[in-house]
Amino acid sequence: MQFYKAELSAETTAHTWANLLDDNPHIGGFVAHDETKDLVGFVHYIFHPVTWSIARRCYLEDLFTKTQTRGKGVGRTLILAVQELAVNRGADQVYWITDKENQPAQKLYDKLATKTGYIRYEIKT
């Protein structure tokens, strides 16, 4: 699988599916289907504790919609489903990151959320 110029191993993909399908309440996802029941999008989320709040936070880790369905409300619906779940579970925020070049997605995100201006750094281990 290749996305955002990243390649995931078959082992990583299998591990992700195992996490999504077990009874772990901290990681999950939603899918979107069109009227013919074809999969047109998905979202994954992770609930986790933080040191800045007594409430958990919800990290929206992956959001994907098929190219032909973009701009038709699929992404919005999936984000709002995660937001509703986060409210129901008492999380104090839902957050995510995106590539600075992903302008089409940012048009949607700017309508639903506040851009924080934080810059992400990472150290590979």
CATH of residue 103: 3.40.630.30
Residue 17 lies in a domain: no
The model's pTM: 0.89
Helix ranges (H only) for the chain are 10-21, 74-88, 103-112
Residue 2 lies in a domain: no
- How does DSSP assign 47-82, residue by residue? EE--SS-SS-EEEEEEEEE-GGGTTTTHHHHHHHHH
Its domain, for residue 65, covers: 26-112
- Mean of all residue pLDDT scores within the chain: 92
**Alpha carbon distance 11, 8 (integer Å):** 8
Task: Read off the pLDDT of each residue in 61-80 and give the average, rounded to a whole number.
Answer: 94
The helix (H) or strand (E) run that includes residue 44 is strand 39-48
What is the number of domains present in the chain?
A: 1
**How confident is the model over 79-124, as pLDDT tens digits?**
999 999 999 999 999 999 998 888 989 999 999 999 998 988 999 9
Give the residues across from 2 on adjacent strands.
7
Residue 52 lies in a domain: yes
Contact (Cβ atoms closer than 8 angstroms) between residue 79 and residue 112: yes
Assess whether pLDDT exceeds 80 at residue 2: no
